[in-house]
Structures are given as structure tokens and as C-alpha cells.
Amino acid sequence: MLRRELPYQADSSALFAKIAHQPWAIYLDSGHPGNDYGHYDIMVADPVMTFTTRGSVTEVLDQHGVHESNDDPFLLLKQALHQYPRLESDLPFTGGAVGYFSYDLARNLESLPDHAEDGEHIPEMMAGIYDWAVIVDHRKRQTWLVCCAILEERKSKWASLCALFDGDAVQQSDGFIVNTEARSNFDEAGYQRVFERIQRYIHEGDCYQVNLAQRFSANASGDAWQAYQYLRKIGSAPFMAFMNLPGVQVLSDSPERFLQVSGRHVETRPIKGTRPRSVDADEDARQADDLKSSLKDRAENLMIVDLLRNDIGKSCATGSVRADRLFALESYTNVHHLVSTVTGKLSDQHEAVDLLRGAFPGGSITGAPKLRAMEIIEELEPHRRGVYCGAIGYIGFDGNMDTNIAIRTAIYSHGEIRFWAGGGIVADSEADKEYRETWDKASTMLKLIEHFRGDQDVGN
């Protein structure tokens, strides 16, 4: 493996700008230096192989050309990773798969009804196999360019990569403009009607919790990398991502880890329980205290902890799964959250892709029991979720993995930017509070929309 240290920059977006407009460029962004859970930034582009899943068909592009497969997309990715050497390193990623796994990829795993409108028209999975990466370690204040040159014809690429990152970023002239206000697919009355239907399902014993989301959309044009740079300023979170993929750009401001594998250690960190932040320090503290003491929010969180213990238990050694930390308060730009941590040890018979497949999609954004909650979501939400509530992250050649839950995530395609905000509905939920919570969660994306409305200077 080739490895070279680059000058460290606390704001690594300046480094990613050098490749931001390359095909399949992806930036897994810890948001800011020094946070507890995401202190590495990972940057990749120009994959040696890509996987694009639409419905039951996955298009695979590699050095031999393009072919299609009806096999399980998770299995295809697993088989591809097995083709390359298992590289051990002190860095979190030195090559492997990076991409998104949309919420609707679950249709390849479960039989779900077909009610909601597909307003996304983008693939259910887009992932690449990458043989080089830039890794930024904000704790050690070090940056590394690494290349494993898994194909013979790629070995000459090292010199050009070094020259690229030694040079200056090419300035792009395209700005980003939002041409309309954000429109929701629920007004408050519509949300109330759907909320009441979920309550009936809960009281009739169909489910215990259902995550209900509203979808916002606005017409837009230009380069979403400009929008993502502004998003980093107003909504920093530990599991952010920007993805420049064919036909779609993804801007994720996620605070939630879905699944991490480090060696054989497994971790998931479900979020359930939210209160808005306040600029008034006393009110902000009151909101945080109210969340910490809320029996309703703790019960909601515990339901999902139990679901995830079961989900990761499918791939973990018997007796290894436990809840290490319950109901920890974490505060972000616009909201306070309750976050729990569940860990386990990957069994000898399973690997990272098996874990991802077995727990997909994350229980914190479906409800419980998972399959019935997903059926109800499909029945009651007007639009498919697409990437929202899926996962974004990497699976390395070394067997390690880290993925987020793609919440607080915007999708830019077909001249439109779309984002969602939701929350878990339980028996003692109140419709007006739940509806208000979705707006609290959407507030950062709504600020982004407002900032780029009209012919504004994107540098402001």
C-alpha cells in the first residue's frame, strides 16, 4: 500500500474541493474537529467498480464493462469486496466500498406493499469500490493519502494523485439557487389525520411505534457542493456526508451512527427523544432537562434499543450484545437528543455486510415491530423515502465499517432539492407536539433553503 502524509487542515472541505466534481466523489465528513464519535474525514473519487441498483436489477460497472444482475445487492457488494486483499492499517479506511443504501433498498429484503409515490427516481443503491482515499484524523491533526492500487493498470495513478493534492483546488463558477419555497407533502391537518390512523393501529395491537415523516421539496439549480459547504457552517454533525453521484447529489447532516464494525466490535447508537434548542441559555437548559426526565421519551428510546439488540444479534456472537449506555443527552445545532449505545461482537460466521443486511433499515427510523411499521409507513406517507432513513458510509477491505442513518439529509436531482423530517409515534404521543418536532428537526435544512432562495450571493 502506498501512503503519503499531506498538510493537515482543520477545515477539510478545502481538501475535498480538489475532487468534489469528479465522478463518484464522496466526502464522509465528521463535521468539525474533536467530537466524540466522528473525528475522521474520508474522501474518495474515481472508483474501480460501481454498483447501481434500481428495483431488483443492479448494474455493475468494472474494468470489463457493464453487466446486470438480479442477485441480492448486498451479496454482490460482499462478493466484490472478497476479490481484493484484506489490508490491515492503523487508519479507519484504506480502500473498499463507499456509498448509500436507500431506505427503499429494503424492498430487496422484505415483501412490502406499493402505495406511496416514487418521487425520487434515483437508484436504491449507489456504491463504489475505491482503491485510494484521503483520511483526515482531527485528533492527531494528521492527513494521509493512501492507495492500495488493486488493479495493475491503476498503479501509475499514484503520481497524479500526489500532484492533485499538492495543487490548488479548481474554482467552480456554478452557484446554487433555490427557486421556490420549500413545500411539504403534509399540512398540519393532513399530519393530524395520519397521526390518528397510527394511533388506531397502536391501540389495535398492530404496532408499538411508527416513525412518521413529512417530505419537503423546492425547485433548485446549480452545484449542490456550494449548498453543502453552507450546511457545514450552520448544522455541523458527526456523521455528515456529501456525495457527487451520476444524476444525484446527496447532502447529509446526520447526527446518528447506524452501524460500526471495528475489528469484531459492533456498535449502533439509536436516537429517540428530541427537544428544540434555544438561544436563551436558561430555556435551552430547561429543554434539555425536560428531555432527560421524560418517561415517554425514555420508553420510546428503549423500544428501539430492544429492536436493535435483536437486529444486530442476528450477526453477533451469542451473549455478546448489550446496551452499554442508555438515554445520554447529546446536543446539536438545532435540537437536543437522547442517544443510547448498543454493542456486540461480530460472530465468526458473519462479516460487516451481513450485519448491515440483517439490521437494514435501522429500527430507529421505522418503529416496532419493524416490518409492520414499514408497511404502515408505506400506506400513510405520500412519498417513498429514497435515501432518507437509509444509510451512508463505508465497508473496508479490512472488514471494518461505519455507516450513518441518513436523517437530516437532502437529495438534489432532477432540478429539485428534497429533505424529510420525522419522529416516532407511540401510544401517548400528542399530534401537535410531534408535528412541531418535525419542524424543529427540519430547521437547519429550511435555513439552507432560505439562504439560497433567489439570486443571492452564495458566498454570504
pLDDT digits (tens, 9 = 90+) for 198-216: 999 999 999 999 999 999 9
395 within domain boundaries: yes
**Across 72-86, average pLDDT:** 93
Amino acid at position 351, single letter: E
Q: What percent of the chain lies above the pLDDT cut of 90? A: 85
pLDDT at 111: 93
In angstroms, the Cα distances linking 293 to 57, 162, 288, 290, 360 are 48, 53, 9, 5, 30
- What tens digit of pLDDT does each residue of 435-451 get? 999 999 999 999 999 99
* pLDDT beyond 80 at 458: no
141 within domain boundaries: yes
173 within domain boundaries: no
* pLDDT range class, residue 35, cuts 50, 70, 90: low
**Across 90-116, average pLDDT:** 96
* pLDDT range class, residue 333, cuts 50, 70, 90: confident
Residue 426 burial (CB count, 10 A): 22
Contact call for residues 336 and 275 (beta carbons, < 8 A) = yes
Contact call for residues 136 and 150 (beta carbons, < 8 A) = no
pLDDT at 13: 94
Q: Which domain holds residue 70?
A: 2-168+179-451
174 within domain boundaries: no
In angstroms, the Cα distances linking 376 to 112, 127, 382 are 10, 29, 11
Of 354 and 458, which is predicted with more confidence?
Answer: 354
- Rounded to two decimals, the pTM is 0.95
CA 301 to chain centre: 20
pLDDT at 38: 66
Alpha-carbon span 268 to 260, nearest angstrom: 6
Residues annotated as part of the active site: 256, 272
Alpha-carbon span 59 to 69, nearest angstrom: 7
354 within domain boundaries: yes
At residue 319, φ and ψ (nearest 5 deg) are 85, 0
* pLDDT beyond 80 at 171: no
pLDDT at 155: 72
49 within domain boundaries: yes
**Across 103-107, average pLDDT:** 97
**Across 147-168, average pLDDT:** 83
> What is the CATH classification number for the domain harbouring 327?
3.60.120.10
456 within domain boundaries: no
Contact call for residues 424 and 272 (beta carbons, < 8 A) = yes
458 within domain boundaries: no
CA dihedral in degrees (377, 106, 307, 363; nearest 10)?
A: -60
Mean pLDDT of the chain: 93
pLDDT at 149: 73
Alpha-carbon span 403 to 105, nearest angstrom: 15
In angstroms, the Cα distances linking 109 to 56, 289, 316, 434, 442 are 10, 40, 20, 30, 29
pLDDT at 37: 60
Point out the least confidently predicted range of 15-29, 122-136, 330-344, 417-431.
330-344
pLDDT at 173: 64
**Across 39-43, average pLDDT:** 94
Q: How many domains does the chain have?
A: 1
pLDDT at 371: 97
